[in-house]
Structure formats: structure tokens, C-alpha cells
Structure 1
Amino acid sequence: MDGLQPDPGKGDVLIVDDTPNNLHLLSSMLEELGYEVRCASSGAMALMAVSTEYPDLILLDISMPDMNGYEVCQHLKENQATQEIPVIFLSALSETIDKVKAFQLGGVDYITKPFQIEEVLARIENQLALRRMQIKLQQAEAEALRALEQEKELNRLKSEFVSMVSHDFRSPLTTIQGFAELLRCSGQVPDLETVNHYVDKIDVAVEHLLCLLDEILLLGSIEAGKLQYQPMTIDLKSFCQELIETLQVSTNSSHQICFTCTGNSTQAEMDTLLLQQIFTNLLSNAIKYSPTAGQINLNLECSEMLAIVQIRDQGIGIPLENQPHLFDAFYRCHNVGQIKGTGLGLAVVKRCVEAHQGYITVESQEGMGTTFTVTLPRYAQLSDHSLA
């Protein structure tokens, strides 16, 4: 044993042998060298030990009563969760046929008894080194696949962005240009009513452009991880009431927004900028896709740790086949008709909800209205973080 030095944290080894002396000898040597060691004296105990915690490697005796090593190995290799655990067989069986069977069942090595402890240790270390390398390769492959998928998604978003910009920017710009041209080239000074009409049309187009630009910039900041999550203490009830009042004035909407609140306390720690994006987008959509003068319900329910907000409308609803893609950037449902939109609002909402460590769900039936449910922790995480 000269020259072998302890190395803490080298790996977790499960030794399976029905001979107590073998268990004691192997476990004491491996523990001395820094391995975490567990022992099992039967095949059934081995499978139970593996199910409790996966080892990095198994030393497995073949000749055991009730369930031999071959059967144990077969059970392990048939289970997807354990089939990658390296198994080194230990056996007094030295015939070639025994070794071939061991390898056919998935064993990575075969040591014949009586064994030299140095040989066992060397083979264990070799297999663990191979296993560590295999895991690193699998992780690298998974990371490469993630990067590839991200690149594909980025290319898709770029393509959709160009398509969206060419349409959604061109439309209001054409409106602005057209009415400006009418003001310039009417041949006579237009009356005040006509001027106001043209200016109103231009204002609407400018407002649409500004909203579109704000959504693009916000989504871009979130995707780039540049927008900081900055919680502050607020009263959610007051926040919702003020937001509803502001929204009804700014949209000049005839819709009735009914607000209800339950819970003993409505104080919370949240990012007001992101919270405003969540509620404004959801309420604006409810107004946009609901019949004129329709009713919209906003319900706030505060429990000890959670704030649950439901926004329910009686609008056109969302087709079932569109719902899985509802929060994708630039995605619009096929039943929106001529109703204007960018396909960015709900993507922004989802990311703002996730920034609060919350989640959003939707229930909808085409022609029957939609209910969005936003669940948020009332109290922010202690550490600041950027959105990504």
C-alpha cells in the first residue's frame, strides 16, 4: 500500500459481497483513501442501496445466494436511471465464459478472486476517471445542444422581428405620412375640425409606435439580462385601484372594470415597473378583445405568502390550439382578425411574472372569454438579480 495517499471526495463506491471479510477489507482500504463506501451483503440489499442513493461505482460479487451478481447487474442495466453506473465484477469464477457473460450484461471490468488490493484500487480509479470524463462529455454535449437551440430560437425571433417591424412599424408610419400629406397638400387651409381629426389620427399612430417600441426595448432588456429586478414595499390593493383608474382614463374605454380584494393584508415587496407591465398588458388585452362596454373582473387575493390576481373578460376567447404558444414572442392567435397587436405583450408579461419567481396560467374557450391567473410571492428574494 506504499505510495497510495488519501484523496477526500474521490467518489461513492457500493461494495456488494456476501463474504464479511471481503467487505471489511475492501471498505477499510477504500475509506482510508478517501472514498465514500457503502456495503451490501446480498443482491436485494444492493438494489435497495442503489435506489436510496446512486453510487459512482459498484464492486459486485457474482456468487451470492438468492440473487447472484449477474441478476443484480441485469436489474441495474434495465433501469434507465441506473444503467450508466459502472459495475466491476469480483468473482472466483475464472472461466472465459463467465467473463464474457459479465461484459455482455454491461459490466465494465472483471477482477478474479483472490485479488490484489492494489489492482482493485487501480481499476476503480480508472473506471471512475472514465466515468467523470463521460459525464463531462455528456454535459458538454447537452450545453452544445442548448446553445444550438438558443441560436435557432434567436434566428427565429430575428426573422419574426424583421417581419413584424416591416408590417407593424410601416402601418402607423404610413398613417402619419398620409395625414401629414393631407394637411400639407389640401390646396386650402383646412377647418379646425378637419385639422383636429387628422392630428388625432396621427396621435393614435404615434402612440401605437411608442407602445411597440417600449415593448421591444423591454423584452430585449429582459432577454439580454440587463433589466434589474428592484422590489420595493407597496400596497397591492392601492396599486391595482390606481392602475385601473389610469388605464380607463388613458384608453377612454367604455368597459367596466370590477375590482375585488380579499385578504387581511395587501402589503407586498415587488418591482412596480414589472408589476405595471403585467397588469397593464393583461387589462389592455381584456379591453381590446372584449365587446364594447363589456365587463372585466380583476380579483386580488392575498394569503400569508402569495398574491393571486385573476383577470377575467367576456371577449373572443383563445382557441385551444393557440394556447400552448400564447406566451411566445411575436405570436398572435388566428381569431384576432383586424384587431391590432404586436404579439409581444404576453411574452413581456410572462417574463415579468417569472422575474418575481411567480407563474401565470390561462383558461379560455373561444367565444366564451378568458381568465388569466397570476400567482406571485408577496415577498421578494433577499438578493437582487438581473432578468434573463
Structure 2
Amino acid sequence: MLSQELVKPVILVVDDNPMNLQVLLESLKQTGFKILVARSGESAIQQAEYGKPDLILLDVMMPGMDGFETCRRMKTREALKDTPVIFMTALTEISDKVKGFQAGGVDYVTKPLHHEEVLARVRTHLTMRRLQQQLQEQHLLLQEKHAQLQALNASKDKFFSIISHDLRSPLSAVITGLRMLTDSKNELSDSEQHEIICDARDTTERLYALLENLLTWSRLQRGLIEFAPRPLDVRPLLEQNVKLFAATAAQKQIAIRQTATEPILIYADRPMIDAVIRNLLSNALKFTAAHGSITLSAAQQDDAIEVAIADTGIGMSAETLARLFRLDVRYDQPGTAGEKGTGLGLNVCKEFIEKNGGSISVESVPGAGTTFRMRFPKHCGDHESMAVIPA
């Protein structure tokens, strides 16, 4: 978009006298203004609505509708109410000048016209109009940002309320279990004591994971996480994460495979992308039942690099998908083996991906599985010549 300084201002000149018009037009055209002409009040209103001038030079004494009435009618039109009008008049009485200001004019020049004065007043009011428009634009931007900030704060307030609940409830359960061990130990069997200890351990591990996610998200919001993008081969990251979760997959009898057969290069921060793949693969294992499968893939497309993690798990409804990445909604679906989620992981994944210039999307069918797709822009350099970060 061209800046306002580079766009020629449009001036509408309204005068029924051809001689006055000719002299004034020659003077104005030398300044580079774009000029529109009208010879009556009715024509001036039509020209103004069509041409949207930045300023109007309006003669007062015209047959039919005079300049004062023309100005009054212009000011009733939404598109023209803020357009500055400078009257050109031979009337010199104070009452006539007041009448012009009451009609909506911003200034006047007296006839016979002194062209240096006309140009000076035109330039002054064009500058004032431009500044007014800039202030209006800034005001609208501030209003929009304020609304966005209010929505974000409301979302974060709801989010922290959810997190507080997620912390308080498990901690209460741990405290209750530990009190049972200390206060009623002699009344509990060994198996009951073991069950309480295992529950406390699992809950504490889940709380620790939640706090880790919360701290990561908080550091990301404050710009405290180091961001060091480099040429990165995705395939070794996929392979390493498959190995990392091999034992969990074997325990749940889930087959995992990685289909990328050649280097797939993106320009990204390795720890961030590794964390995303690890989190999404962990979720896929959690929500896939025994004898299911998970496929990790990476491929070059025409305009991007796509990395996908697809499972044959329980899937999600359209309603769940719509609120999946929202801070103010808690997604608390247990896994197929009763695994508990830690919360916030997908939000961290989304922000990590977007930090690296990518995007994430989800496709899911209840009972049939879910696919998370990450898309990253192709690196502009020659991939064969790039020094790739070893995985």
C-alpha cells in the first residue's frame, strides 16, 4: 500500500464562473493535486460522493443552491461529513463568515483570490486532514488491540483457573493418601498401602509433567526460551522418538512405523521440533488401543514440508477439535489404558511450531483415529549444501 504522502490529494473545486475556475485550476494543477470540477451545488454533492475528495473549495454565491446549503447537505452524508470545506466568497461581513462555519466549513478565502493564500490554506488543511485520518486509524488499531487483549486476558484467567483446579485436586488426593498411610497404617493391608503409594507416585509424576509444561509455556510467553533455528533433518528426529517410545508401544501392543526414506530438511529449532514430535507421539500412544498402529511421516510438497503423526486411536468429535488448542477449555480425555493427561502440551506444541514459521492442523474421526499435520515453509537455500544439525 502506498503511503498517504505518495498519493496525490484530490481537490474538488466548485464555482459557477468559468473564468474563476480556469485561473484557479491552472494554479492548483501546478502543485500536483488531482482536480475535480463542479459548477453547481447539486453537481458538487454528486462529484464529492463519487470522487471522495480530500478537500473541497466551494464558492458561496451560486445560482440555485448556494455554497452554504451545499455544505450543509454534504455534512449530512456519512462519506463527506469529515471532508474539509474551504469557502470562496466575496462576502466580508462577520455574519456571513459565521454562517459559513455554522454550515460546516473549516476556513474561507475572500475574492478576488490570492493564489498564494489559497495554496497555503489548502496545504494546511490537507495536512490537518491527513493527521486526523492517521489519528483515527491509530484509534481503531488501539481499540482492536484492546479488544484482543481483553479476550486474551479473559482466556488466560480461565486457563489459570483450570490449571489451579488441575493442581489442587491431584494434590488433595496425594495428601489424603499420605495421611491414610501415616494415621491408619496399622489398619491397612500391604496391598492397600502399595496401591496408595503407587497412586501417589503416578499423581506426583503427572503434576510434575504439568508444572514442566506450565513453566515452558510461561517462558515461551515471556520470550525466555532460546530460539536457534538451523537446517534440520526431520527423519532422524522421527526415528529417535520411535525408539524412545518403543517400550511403551510394545506394552500396549501398538505398532509404530516411520515412513520417511530420505532426508527431509526444514529450517527450525531442533529442541522445539523434537519436543513437538515427542508430545504428539506420546498423545497418539495414549489414545490408541491395543493392536492399533501409529505412522510418522515427512514429505516435501510443492510449497511446504509436511510432517504428520497419524494413529488408529479413539479419535475426536468435531466439537472437541474446535476447542483443542484453546487455553480456556480443558481437554481431559483419559487414554485407552486409563492414562491421565498433563494438560497444556498441545498449546506448547502449537506455539513452538508457529515460532518456527509453521502451522499445525488436526483431522480426526471418532473411533477411526487422528492425524496431526505440521507444515513448515521450504528453506530458500540449497538443501544439499546446507550444514545439517545432527540429530
Scaled by the length of structure 2, the TM-score of the pair is 0.70
What is the aligned partner in structure 2 of residue 225 from structure 1? 223
1:145 to 1:273, Cα distance in 2 relative to 1, 3 A: same
What is the CA distance between 1:329 and its match in structure 2? Answer: 1.9
1:306 to 1:100, Cα distance in 2 relative to 1, 3 A: same
Please, which runs of 5 or more residues in structure 2 have no aligned partner? 89-110, 382-391
Q: CA RMSD in A?
A: 4.0
What is the aligned partner in structure 1 of residue 36 from structure 2? 60
1:289 is matched by which residue type in structure 2?
Answer: F
Cα separation, 2, equivalents of 1:195 and 1:234? 49
Q: How does 1:273-284 map to 2 (within 5 A)?
A: 273-284=271-282
What is the aligned partner in structure 2 of residue 384 from structure 1? none
**Which string of whole-angstrom CA distances, capped at 9 and with x for unpartnered residues, describes residues 325-370 of structure 1?**
2211252358769763344122111111110111111222333322
1:248 to 1:169, Cα distance in 2 relative to 1, 3 A: farther
Please, which runs of 5 or more residues in structure 1 have no aligned partner? 1-7, 30-36, 40-58, 78-84, 382-388
Structure 2 residue 9 is the aligned partner of structure 1 residue 13? yes
What is the aligned partner in structure 1 of residue 317 from structure 2? 319
What is the aligned partner in structure 2 of residue 294 from structure 1? 292
Secondary structure of 1:26's match? Answer: helix
Cα separation, 2, equivalents of 1:343 and 1:20? 75
1:240 to 1:92, Cα distance in 2 relative to 1, 3 A: same
Q: Is the 8 A contact 2:311 2:370 kept in 1?
A: yes
What is the aligned partner in structure 2 of residue 27 from structure 1? 29
Structure 2 residue 56 is the aligned partner of structure 1 residue 88? yes
| Bigger Rg over Cα | 2
What is the CA distance between 1:115 and its match in structure 2? Answer: 4.7
Structure 2 residue 256 is the aligned partner of structure 1 residue 254? no
Cα separation, 1, equivalents of 2:377 and 2:171? 39
Q: Is the 8 A contact 1:169 1:209 kept in 2?
A: no
Q: Is the 8 A contact 2:9 2:33 kept in 1?
A: yes
Aligned length: 337
1:208 is matched by which residue type in structure 2?
Answer: R
Cα separation, 2, equivalents of 1:159 and 1:175? 25
1:277 is matched by which residue type in structure 2?
Answer: A
Q: How does 1:169-184 map to 2 (within 5 A)?
A: 169-171=168-170, 174-175=173-174, 178=177, 181-182=180-181
2:9 is matched by which residue type in structure 1?
Answer: V
Secondary structure of 2:296's match? Answer: strand
What is the aligned partner in structure 1 of residue 270 from structure 2? 272
1:342 to 1:244, Cα distance in 2 relative to 1, 3 A: same
**Which string of whole-angstrom CA distances, capped at 9 and with x for unpartnered residues, describes residues 118-172 of structure 1?**
2243144224324413432441453255235424532442343233323345316
1:165 to 1:359, Cα distance in 2 relative to 1, 3 A: same
What is the aligned partner in structure 1 of residue 121 from structure 2? 122
What is the aligned partner in structure 1 of residue 347 from structure 2? 347
Cα separation, 2, equivalents of 1:108 and 1:16? 11
Cα separation, 1, equivalents of 2:25 and 2:328? 63
**Which string of whole-angstrom CA distances, capped at 9 and with x for unpartnered residues, describes residues 167-218 of structure 1?**
3453166247626854885439987x88876655444223212210111011
Cα separation, 2, equivalents of 1:204 and 1:336? 14
What is the aligned partner in structure 2 of residue 71 from structure 1? 46
Cα separation, 2, equivalents of 1:179 and 1:380? 58
What is the CA distance between 1:98 and its match in structure 2? Answer: 3.5
What is the aligned partner in structure 1 of residue 242 from structure 2? 244
What is the aligned partner in structure 2 of residue 100 from structure 1? 72
Cα separation, 1, equivalents of 2:125 and 2:369? 63
1:89 to 1:168, Cα distance in 2 relative to 1, 3 A: same
Secondary structure of 1:317's match? Answer: coil
2:164 is matched by which residue type in structure 1?
Answer: V
Cα separation, 2, equivalents of 1:103 and 1:185? 85
Scaled by the length of structure 1, the TM-score of the pair is 0.71
Q: Is the 8 A contact 1:363 1:372 kept in 2?
A: yes
Q: Is the 8 A contact 1:60 1:88 kept in 2?
A: no
Structure 2 residue 85 is the aligned partner of structure 1 residue 109? yes
What is the aligned partner in structure 1 of residue 149 from structure 2? 150
Structure 2 residue 367 is the aligned partner of structure 1 residue 367? yes
Q: Is the 8 A contact 2:253 2:291 kept in 1?
A: yes
Cα separation, 2, equivalents of 1:259 and 1:20? 79
2:10 is matched by which residue type in structure 1?
Answer: L
Secondary structure of 1:234's match? Answer: strand
2:307 is matched by which residue type in structure 1?
Answer: V
What is the CA distance between 1:20 and its match in structure 2? Answer: 8.0
What is the aligned partner in structure 1 of residue 213 from structure 2? 215
